[in-house]
Structure 1
Amino acid sequence: MTLNAKFEVLSFDEAEAALRAPEDAGRPRNLVVFAGTELALAERAAALLKDAKAQIDRAAAAARFKGKSGSSLEILAPVGVPASRLLVVGVGAAGSDDSDKPAKFEDFLSLGGQTAAKLGQGASAVVLFDLPDAPAEPAAAAAQFALGGWLRAYKFDQYKTKKKDDADKDGPIEVQIGVSDAESAKALVAEASHTAEAVVLARTLVNEPANVLSPAEFARRASELMKLGVEVEILDEKAMSELGMRALLGVGQGSENESRLVVLRWNGGAEGAAPIAFVGKGVVFDTGGISIKPAAGMEDMKGDMGGAAAVTGALYAVAARKAKANVVGILGLVENMPDGKAQRPGDIVKSMSGQTIEVINTDAEGRLVLADALTYVIEKHKPAAIVDLATLTGAILVALGQEYGGLFSNNDELAERLTKAGTAT
């Protein structure tokens, strides 16, 4: 996957040497530093900006910038600074100034995203990753900063006709980030890049229009994970029919695009050890079928394959990082369309498990896809645990809003581990 930002890790000395190099007239240099509460700067940043301190103080007073996290100060053509633009980003406590023990800044992922947004597309920058209150693990913090920058720089615009006025903004953000321990940071930033690539892959799959991303095309893109060492098996409708997957096949029978089941296997753990399984709902477009949805907002139903996209991204991350684990990913890929061949409310289908299902509402298709996908992974791979990812109902937004995903489990230990992982990342 191609990321829309480039991060080069340097030592502090190398970063300062880069600042002394001649500036590209066609691509003005940005210098990014971080300030704590009341404009507190770390030693390196303070030394570098000593000749510009009066100008910074004056600009900060005019902008009422005090270094609080989430805020920033921009100075163009700063005096005595080897850059055309100085960006001072706040990392101070966001609470009241009279707090006895303000919380230490730790959200480096958001910091990277905020910085990338301020720099803008196509910018060139040197970031002096020297914070007034140094993080406990500077290399890990720098990696999170880079990850935030990569995620913020993502865009999906390949189908847009570009305006000529935008030509000068083309290209990735290019960042040289100076850190105290360059060797450790390089390794962790490289690892973070794999996570960014995995997220970008999943986002792009979700954003693709349904006339491009059919089940067969989704399966083809998933098969590209073979380049990373993932074993890929694609079951067509004939193979699924022979296995008795009538629940999944029933959902897709009204579409001109044939359904697929994709099996992704990463064998990085002990030989013979039971894998962890991820199962993703992949309805590439959901009209609701005969129980058709309202027209308003139906265009968003191209994203009803978000679960399968997340599973594909997860397997990418696992493989790219050479994880020492056995992992299986299952993608149930269908298109739910109304047609003379579509299944009807009142139809009865038999799932792979042998159970019969009466279809009351054809817009409740996700559980039919997942029923066969879950049975398949249980019977064929006997996993130690299964994580099922799906966009099953918009009603979850009524309960939890935009900040949280719903989690339901029959195992409290697994649920707790997933919750902790989500909180940590």
Structure 2
Amino acid sequence: MKLTVKTGKLQKLRTHLLAVFLFEETRTIDEWLTELNEITGNRLSELLKMRDFKGELNETLLIYTPERSPVRRVLLVGMGKKREFNAEKVRQVFGTASRNARDKKLKRFTLCLEGVTVPELTKGELAHAAVEGALLSLYQFIKFKTEDIKKYTIVNEIVLFALNRMNYKELCAGVEMGKLFAEATCYARDLASYPGNVVTPTYLANEAKAIAAKCGLKCSIFDEKKLMQLKMNALLGVAKGSNEPPRLIILEYNCGNDKADTVAVVGKGITFDSGGISIKPAKKMEEMKYDKCGAAAVLAVMKLVKQLQPPVNVTGIVASAENLPSGKALKPGDIVTTYSGLTVEVINTDAEGRLILSDALAYTIDKFKPDAVIDLATLTGAVIVALGHYATGMLGNNPGMLKKVMTAAQKSGEMVWELPIYPEFDEHLKSNVADIKNSNGPGAGTIFGAAFLRKFVKKTPWVHLDIAGTAWDVKEKSYLPKGPTGVGVRLLGVLLKDWKL
């Protein structure tokens, strides 16, 4: 999509729709609104006077301008109370405006930045948030649609308009950054949306190769033979029930500074999760194509880092398999020896995510010796019980690293909430026949999953993000349409871009 920044006088602007954003406190015509009022044939002043438009958050009202006006429509969008307005609400209102414009079958429209202010944001940061909201709101997954395809409007261009040219370069930089973050997020959404008969572990491996070739990253793909050599029996075990072979996928970005930190991001890539022998109920099982959302986020982040050029080396690792039942499948009661040497009693084959991550995390730390590790996984349904679909569960072993992730989450608008991993939880990991077990039954399921993973990260600063509640099925926001959200991409993008030694 083409994004254009324009500055100048409103009277010289030509557009089918101009979206203008107003606070609840806007009661009269002043300053730049005088120009806008003239364009609307004084209808704006009447609307404000009569309080037909109150400016409540995401409230909209469409004004058709006089016949010969170069601005054919003015869409008023409410920003709510000025003191409560923040970057997240910038995303929301620009998403609301963009979806309204698309609903009018418009392929090109204009979003006005004038009057949109958040004291703690620079002009560039504000433009970044605005573009994220606009582009993310327009996401559609229609690759498999064949009937009535013309009813889906594809927006070709968005113009960002401001009166003052003084901040032009800063606005352009913010627009470009917002576009990078939004496109990476939509790439993750696409990967997550593809069904299991399209996206397999081999497909993800080929995607990684394509990313590496395009972005100049180092890529390594471990097939079954290599995984057997490395004794990654947990990953191999999960894949036994499927005809699709597992893959461990590695992408490496080097920032060119020998003294720079290395951060590893590890994603769970179960391309379809039936639960295995501990099979899931049929209801909503089709959504288990989303069990690869952690992997999708990691691949998207690796596309993004090459463009962001962060001051840190980044290693992206995806453990990918299909979890299906068969005569060869892993069974409850089986014992597997992981890459780290720890033995695991499999209590529940539907707790497979922690198994594949155990090998991936242990190998990552052993091979790359990163200064920090973040894993993303649709690990437990229990996190939905704890946090609903509003926040990602965050757990870890290092307060400083947890704080960094929390800061990035707040800046990106992807909410997280920390849950504890008390030492007492290690008692629940104990097995009578192996070193540890992969499930402990009901109660604190999210924390138990993280306590299990902690066994494989040693003392490396580590954060676990359980995205099972935020990867899909969230309450629809203006910039979060139905389907997968691409959660984690923007958070990690901010974390890596702002990384400080």
Provide TM-score, normalisation by structure 2.
Answer: 0.76
Counterparts in 2 of 1:47 and 1:84: CA distance versus 1, 3 Å: closer
Mean CA deviation greater in 263-272 or 225-234:
263-272
Structure 2 letter corresponding to 1:212: V
Aligned counterparts, 1:337-356, within 5 A: 337-356=324-343
State the 1:348 CA deviation. 1.3
- Aligned Cα root-mean-square deviation (Å): 2.2
Structure 1: runs of 5+ lacking an equivalent: 24-28, 95-101
Counterparts in 2 of 1:140 and 1:295: CA distance versus 1, 3 Å: same
Instruction: Report the 3-state secondary structure (helix = DSSP H, G, I; strand = E; otherwise coil) of the residue aligned with 1:49.
Output: helix
2:109 corresponds, among 109, 115, 125, to 125
Mean CA deviation greater in 129-138 or 197-206:
129-138
Structure 2 letter corresponding to 1:209: P
Does the alignment pair 1:31 with 2:4? no
2:395 corresponds, among 389, 408, 419, to 408
Does the alignment pair 1:238 with 2:225? yes
The residue number in structure 1 matching 2:64 is 76
Instruction: Report the 3-state secondary structure (helix = DSSP H, G, I; strand = E; otherwise coil) of the residue aligned with 1:283.
Output: strand
Counterparts in 2 of 1:38 and 1:367: CA distance versus 1, 3 Å: same
Counterparts in 2 of 1:129 and 1:79: CA distance versus 1, 3 Å: farther
The residue number in structure 2 matching 1:148 is 133
The residue number in structure 1 matching 2:158 is 175
Does the alignment pair 1:115 with 2:97? yes
The residue number in structure 1 matching 2:321 is 334
Instruction: Report the 3-state secondary structure (helix = DSSP H, G, I; strand = E; otherwise coil) of the residue aligned with 1:276.
Output: strand
Does the alignment pair 1:393 with 2:389? no
Aligned counterparts, 1:305-344, within 5 A: 305-344=292-331
Instruction: Report the 3-state secondary structure (helix = DSSP H, G, I; strand = E; otherwise coil) of the residue aligned with 1:10.
Output: strand
**Paired residues of 1:42 and 1:130 also in contact (CA < 8 A):** no
Aligned counterparts, 1:23-102, within 5 A: 29-36=16-23, 37-40=25-28, 43-50=31-38, 52=40, 54-59=42-47, 64-78=52-66, 81-93=69-81, 102=83
Instruction: Report the 3-state secondary structure (helix = DSSP H, G, I; strand = E; otherwise coil) of the residue aligned with 1:8.
Output: strand
Counterparts in 2 of 1:234 and 1:116: CA distance versus 1, 3 Å: same
Counterparts in 2 of 1:184 and 1:289: CA distance versus 1, 3 Å: same
Mean CA deviation greater in 255-264 or 113-122:
113-122
Counterparts in 2 of 1:41 and 1:215: CA distance versus 1, 3 Å: farther
Mean CA deviation greater in 221-230 or 345-354:
221-230
Q: Distance in 1 between matches of 2:312 and 2:224?
A: 30
Q: Distance in 1 between matches of 2:4 and 2:147?
A: 29
Does the alignment pair 1:303 with 2:290? yes
The residue number in structure 2 matching 1:384 is 371
Structure 1 letter corresponding to 2:12: A
The residue number in structure 2 matching 1:372 is 359
Does the alignment pair 1:17 with 2:12? yes
The residue number in structure 2 matching 1:8 is 4
State the 1:342 CA deviation. 0.9
**Paired residues of 1:42 and 1:133 also in contact (CA < 8 A):** no
Aligned counterparts, 1:237-276, within 5 A: 237-271=224-258, 273-276=260-263
Counterparts in 2 of 1:366 and 1:164: CA distance versus 1, 3 Å: closer
Mean CA deviation greater in 258-267 or 169-178:
169-178
Structure 2: runs of 5+ lacking an equivalent: 413-501
Counterparts in 2 of 1:164 and 1:59: CA distance versus 1, 3 Å: farther
**Paired residues of 1:274 and 1:382 also in contact (CA < 8 A):** no
**Paired residues of 1:42 and 1:131 also in contact (CA < 8 A):** no
Structure 1 letter corresponding to 2:233: R
Structure 1 letter corresponding to 2:144: Y
Does the alignment pair 1:207 with 2:190? no
Q: Distance in 2 between matches of 1:201 and 1:130?
A: 30
Provide Cα deviations, 1:68-91, integer angstroms capped at 9, x if missing partner.
332121112446742221111222
Counterparts in 2 of 1:351 and 1:234: CA distance versus 1, 3 Å: same
State the 1:149 CA deviation. 0.4
Provide Cα deviations, 1:362-407, integer angstroms capped at 9, x if missing partner.
1111111001001110111000011111111111101101110101
Q: Distance in 1 between matches of 2:275 and 2:371?
A: 34
The residue number in structure 2 matching 1:97 is none
Mean CA deviation greater in 135-144 or 244-253:
135-144
Mean CA deviation greater in 365-374 or 134-143:
134-143
Instruction: Report the 3-state secondary structure (helix = DSSP H, G, I; strand = E; otherwise coil) of the residue aligned with 1:363.
Output: coil
Q: Distance in 1 between matches of 2:28 and 2:291?
A: 47
Q: Distance in 2 between matches of 1:57 and 1:81?
A: 17
Instruction: Report the 3-state secondary structure (helix = DSSP H, G, I; strand = E; otherwise coil) of the residue aligned with 1:225.
Output: helix
Q: Distance in 2 between matches of 1:347 and 1:111?
A: 52
Provide TM-score, normalisation by structure 1.
Answer: 0.89
**Paired residues of 2:29 and 2:37 also in contact (CA < 8 A):** no
Q: Distance in 1 between matches of 2:259 and 2:116?
A: 50
Counterparts in 2 of 1:418 and 1:40: CA distance versus 1, 3 Å: farther
State the 1:272 CA deviation. 5.8
**Paired residues of 2:40 and 2:65 also in contact (CA < 8 A):** no
